[in-house]
Amino acid sequence: MKLISGNRLLDRRWVFGKSALWQVLTLMITLSVPAIAQPTSDHDPIPSIFTYRWWHIDHSLSAQPDLSDLLSANPIGYLDANITNEVGDFDFATGGRQATWARFHGGWFEDEQHLRAYFFGAAGVHFRLTPNAIAGVMFQFDQMTYESYGFGSKGKGYLVGPYFVAKNRDHPLYLEIQYLIGRTETDFIGFRGAVEDIVSEQTLATVKVSGELIYDDFKLMPHLLISRIENSRQPYVDYATGSIAEQSMTVTDVVVGVDYSNDLPVESASLVLTSGISANWSETVAKRSGLTLAEDFGGVWGKVHIGATYTKQRDFAFRARATLTGIVTESEQDWGLNIGLEMTF
């Protein structure tokens, strides 16, 4: 349960494994100066539906499960819930190295005039090809709601398809590949309460490399993620303008980076220095009947971070981390400072 008061955040997390239950109490102070894009109040049906579809795609990409856990040496399940009177979120994952698994994630925000909510669930089953490789099939389901001043959209979707995970035999470095197909159904609430039912076909392909390369007292943690999602909306009849032609939207993201961790010798304790750098390239293309409506080349996002963790007797940890994120212009940068104190009992 997470309680927020000013910049102080009290977080209680329950992590459960096959044979033990650990309760962790964390006190954390977080400071940040983000660049936030505020949504517009445009009620025109075409851009509203277009924007909602983009939000749905973005949430679906962000919620994809980490399949490397299925081959990790000590996979554990977890339950994390953070709830206030207006905002909440939760995460759940099964543990153990069973052939079946499940992941659930959700978040919401609600006040007198707005409601934003997203739920994601995934489940899969696999078989072992070798001691360091598995292949299987997964099913994903999600639901998204956006309401503002009587207008909004409610949508749900599903994806199903194969996945493959492999582990390097000498290092905990993982390769993940998945290709999923499915559809989304959206009810758009427009003027005078008119409801439009919009159906879209969707495909998702991802390739991911993550993990660690361990060399004596330091570790390199490379990461690469290539994802491409295509959403093709079928023609439909709009309440205001009549027949609407087929539209398609393609979102491509590429993330690459490397983190570094170095253990320093400290008497009766552990001191770990961390740093890292990453870049994100993204592109969104929308078309109607084969003609390009909009093309957004997101450019290259850069991110750097540096931090340290001091741990003593495995039940006390102090963490500090500074992060700088930006894209091309200085006005679209943000920075953050995270200081945490963690005790296990």
| Rounded Cα gap, residues 309 and 317, in angstroms | 7
Exposure string for 103-140, b = 16+ CB within 10 A, e = fewer: bbbbbbeeeeeeebbbbbbbbbebeeeeeeebebebbb
Cβ-based neighbour number of residue 194 at 10 Å: 12
pLDDT, the chain, mean? 79
Query: Per-residue confidence at 32, pLDDT binned at 50, 70, 90?
Result: very low
| Rounded Cα gap, residues 160 and 45, in angstroms | 30
**CATH code at 9?**
2.40.128
| Rounded Cα gap, residues 184 and 56, in angstroms | 9
**By three-state DSSP, how is residue 224 classified?**
strand
Quote the DSSP letter at residue 74: S
**Residue 239 φ then ψ, to 5°:** -70, -20
- What pLDDT digit, counting tens, does each position of 85-104 carry? 889 999 999 986 789 999 99
CB half-sphere exposure, 141, CA atoms < 13 A: 5
Please determine, for residue 215, whether its predicted confidence score (pLDDT) is greater than 90: no
Give residue 264's domain range.
Answer: 2-344
The total of structural domains in the chain comes to 1
- What pLDDT digit, counting tens, does each position of 11-21 carry? 333 333 333 33
DSSP symbols for 242-296: EEE--EEEEEEEEEEEEEEEEEEEETTEEEEEEEEEEEEEEEEEEEETTEEEEEE
Cβ-based neighbour number of residue 238 at 10 Å: 16
Minimum mean pLDDT range among 22-31, 111-120, 199-208, 308-317: 22-31
**Which element (helix H / strand E) includes 45?**
helix 45-62
Classify the phi-psi angles of 43: left when phi > 0, otherwise alpha if psi is within -120 to 50, otherwise beta: alpha
Selection from 109, 145, 101, 151 nearest residue 127 by Cα: 101
